[in-house]
């Protein structure tokens, strides 16, 4: 049975992606005087550090095909959304991650091109390994829901696909800091105001403890990351230290970027509005936005790869 939790963030940071700040192994015992053979070392061989070349783009492509081509439109409180969430959860656990469900309420409203009902939705919070309390950590997120009638290939099966490709690449490899992956529910608008969308990420931020807030080193939202020839790097205000990190990571990964300042239309805004570091990858304009024509054919494999390589360069880089 999947576990449903009301405020999972207080628990999930007890575990996160294997990182370079793991505790040192205990020293090996002294060899016996009766034997000239040295005692075997108890120091484990460290996992290789994750690199941009570790990405398997096919994982992202297959996710887009399944979510948009088979499941289709999936508003955050719909049965289709929960089918999509179950599939993503299975994919994450298959890549070695532990997944908790964070349940939250979503109001009724009008989601771009049709009415939507009130009801529960869930965030999927994926972790692995061990994190020391108060130590820095990273978060990579992507919203799983769509507006009414839109299959949501680019918006946002593309982001979820890259999230799964990152999860796969980190299986058995090290990141520079522990990483938490989140598939957010009910990101899409249900009204015209600033408080009428991003329900899942707002619930997640509200559940963070003060030590978790202080130690969050950066949150990156993957939203519409499968269209375009360059990768947009967005921030709700002017470029900052986090966007500088992402641009530098993209450069190391061989990816061209364009800065997109004053960008608030994704889950990173829930973090930034609460004083936490957040940025967005993606947002190239395209004709099928929030439309029934947002099908898998819209998404470009090369842009999925650019995004995934950038994220892996960011989480895998040696800390300055």
pLDDT in tens, 66-91: 999 999 999 999 999 999 999 999 99
Q: What is the structure's pLDDT at 179?
A: 97
Q: Which whole number is the average pLDDT over 122-127?
A: 97
- Residue 280 pairs in a beta bridge with 221, 234
Q: What is the structure's pLDDT at 194?
A: 80
* CA 15/CA 287 separation, integer angstroms: 41
pLDDT tens-place string over residues 265-310:
999 999 999 999 999 999 999 999 999 999 999 999 999 999 999 9
pLDDT at residue 28 is higher than 90: no
Contacts of 94 (CB under 8 A, 6+ apart): none
pLDDT at residue 182 is higher than 80: yes
Ramachandran area for residue 50 (φ above 0: left; ψ -120 to 50: alpha; else beta):
beta
In the chain, % of residues over pLDDT 90: 80
Helices vs. strands in the chain: H and E counts, helices first: 9, 11
Q: What is the structure's pLDDT at 38?
A: 52
Average pLDDT, the chain: 89
Q: Is the peptide bond before 156 cis (omega within 30 degrees of 0)?
A: yes
42 in Cβ contact with 134 (< 8 Å)? no
Q: Which whole number is the average pLDDT over 9-26?
A: 43
Secondary structure (3-state) at 243: helix
Number of Cβ atoms within 10 Å of the Cβ of 206: 12
Whole-angstrom CA distances from 167 to 96, 149, 183, 184, 256 are: 8, 29, 12, 15, 23
Angle, helix 158-169 to helix 79-94, in steps of 10 degrees: 20
73 in Cβ contact with 148 (< 8 Å)? yes
* CA 247/CA 234 separation, integer angstroms: 10
In the chain, % of residues over pLDDT 70: 85
């Amino acid at each position: 049975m999947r576990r449903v939790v009301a405020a999972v963030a207080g628990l999930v940071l007890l575990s996160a992606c294997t990182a370079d700040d793991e505790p040192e192994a205990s020293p090996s015992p002294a060899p016996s005087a009766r034997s000239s053979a040295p005692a075997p070392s108890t120091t484990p061989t460290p996992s290789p550090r994750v690199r941009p070349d570790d990405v398997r783009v096919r994982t992202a492509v297959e996710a887009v095909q399944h979510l948009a081509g088979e499941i289709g439109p999936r508003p955050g409180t719909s049965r289709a959304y929960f089918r999509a969430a179950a599939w993503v959860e299975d994919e994450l656990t298959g890549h070695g991650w532990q997944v908790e469900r964070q349940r939250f309420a979503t109001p009724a409203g009008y989601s771009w091109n049709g009415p939507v009902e009130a009801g529960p939705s869930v965030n999927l919070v994926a972790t692995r390994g061990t994190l020391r309390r108060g130590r820095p950590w990273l978060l990579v997120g992507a919203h799983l829901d769509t507006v009414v009638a839109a299959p949501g290939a680019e918006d946002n099966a593309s982001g979820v696909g890259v999230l799964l490709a990152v999860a796969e690449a980190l299986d058995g490899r090290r990141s520079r800091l522990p990483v938490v992956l989140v598939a957010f529910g009910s990101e899409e608008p249900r009204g015209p105001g600033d408080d009428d969308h991003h329900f899942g990420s707002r619930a997640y931020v509200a559940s963070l403890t003060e030590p978790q807030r202080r130690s969050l080193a950066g949150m990156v939202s993957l939203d519409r990351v499968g269209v375009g020839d360059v990768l947009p790097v967005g921030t709700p205000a002017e470029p900052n230290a986090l966007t500088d990190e992402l641009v530098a990571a993209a450069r190391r990964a061989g990816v061209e970027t364009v800065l997109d300042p004053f960008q608030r239309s994704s889950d990173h805004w829930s973090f930034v509005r609460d004083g936490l570091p957040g940025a967005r990858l993606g947002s190239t304009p395209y004709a099928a936005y929030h439309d029934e024509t947002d099908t898998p054919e819209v998404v470009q494999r090369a842009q999925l790869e650019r995004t995934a390589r950038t994220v892996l360069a960011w989480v895998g880089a040696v800390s300055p």
